[in-house]
């Protein structure tokens, strides 16, 4: 079971973007997947659009205001492992030192990057679970949010909302492959949620029915989002560019 997820959000300069992507997909990822415990990798490109940015729920959110936290999000690189501890042995700093000169130079091209290591605390499968793959690889389109609460006592309320409201709706949601609720081992974000869909169109049509009208605080969704602080531009809406979607 893939209970650990390593997530890296980042931007890239346009100059040399193709060279970087070729290196990542043909060299870096295949080598990474040889490490003990690693089970899959997926690389996504953001498809954020104005309709999402201006939605009532998105506009009702609070976002972090910490200049030192990377604000990148054009790309999202994910690795899955049997445990989040697989990403800590070797330690991240030691892993970076082990890369050759070319790999370190390529990684240095990332802009506004931020990293998190998550462990899964719950998952549900949607009607389109067969569309996940190859293997355990997440779906062709994802939505991934990362956030925390400024009140630690609120964390159990967040968990209850996912169990009884949001995740409970997904097993019957057309176009949904599934979802994973995550907690971080450390860093800025405490919580994350990874939703998987067969396509952006499926997400737009079916998932939007779960959102709170007008960010209404009396609606379960509206009440939750007003008490959370999201990372920059959360959630990431993205399509998979590696492995290639067939």
**Which pLDDT tens digit goes with each residue over 131-162?**
999 999 999 999 999 988 877 777 888 888 88
CA dist., res. 35 & res. 28, Å (int): 12
Give the range among 106-120, 189-203, 217-231 with minimum mean pLDDT.
217-231
Q: Where are the domains of the chain?
A: 4-242
pTM of whole model > 0.75? yes
Whether 210 contacts 169, CB under 8 Å: yes
Quick one: pLDDT at residue 222?
Answer: 54
* DSSP string across 199-221: -HHHHHHHGGGGSPGGG-TTSHH
Write out the H or E segment, with its range, that includes residue 122: strand 111-125
Task: Look at residue 214 and tell me whether its pLDDT is greater than 50.
Answer: no
Task: Look at residue 52 and tell me whether its pLDDT is greater than 70.
Answer: no
Determine the topology of domain 4-242 in CATH.
Answer: Alpha-Beta Plaits (3.30.70)
DSSP state of 234: P
């Amino acid at each position: 079971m893939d209970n650990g997820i390593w997530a890296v959000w980042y931007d890239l300069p346009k100059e040399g973007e193709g060279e970087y992507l070729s290196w990542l997909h043909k060299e870096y990822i295949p080598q990474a997947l040889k490490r003990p415990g690693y089970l899959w990798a997926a690389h996504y490109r953001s498809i954020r659009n104005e309709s999402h940015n201006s939605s009532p729920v998105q506009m009702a959110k609070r976002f972090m205001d910490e200049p030192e936290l990377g604000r990148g999000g054009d790309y999202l690189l994910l690795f899955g492992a049997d445990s989040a501890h697989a990403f800590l042995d070797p330690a991240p700093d030691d892993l970076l030192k082990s890369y050759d000169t070319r790999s370190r130079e390529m990684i240095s091209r990332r802009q506004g990057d931020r990293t998190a290591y998550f462990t899964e605390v719950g998952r549900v499968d949607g009607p389109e679970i067969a569309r996940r793959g190859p293997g355990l690889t997440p779906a062709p389109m994802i939505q991934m949010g990362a956030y925390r609460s400024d009140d630690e006592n609120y964390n159990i309320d967040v968990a209850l909302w996912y169990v009884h409201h949001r995740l409970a709706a997904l097993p019957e949601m057309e176009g949904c492959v599934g979802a994973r609720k995550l907690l971080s081992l450390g860093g800025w974000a405490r919580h994350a949620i990874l939703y998987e869909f067969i396509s952006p169109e499926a997400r737009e049509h079916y998932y939007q029915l779960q959102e709170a009208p007008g960010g209404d605080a009396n609606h379960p969704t509206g009440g939750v989002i007003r008490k959370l602080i999201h990372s920059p531009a959360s959630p990431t809406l993205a399509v998979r560019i590696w492995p290639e979607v067939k």
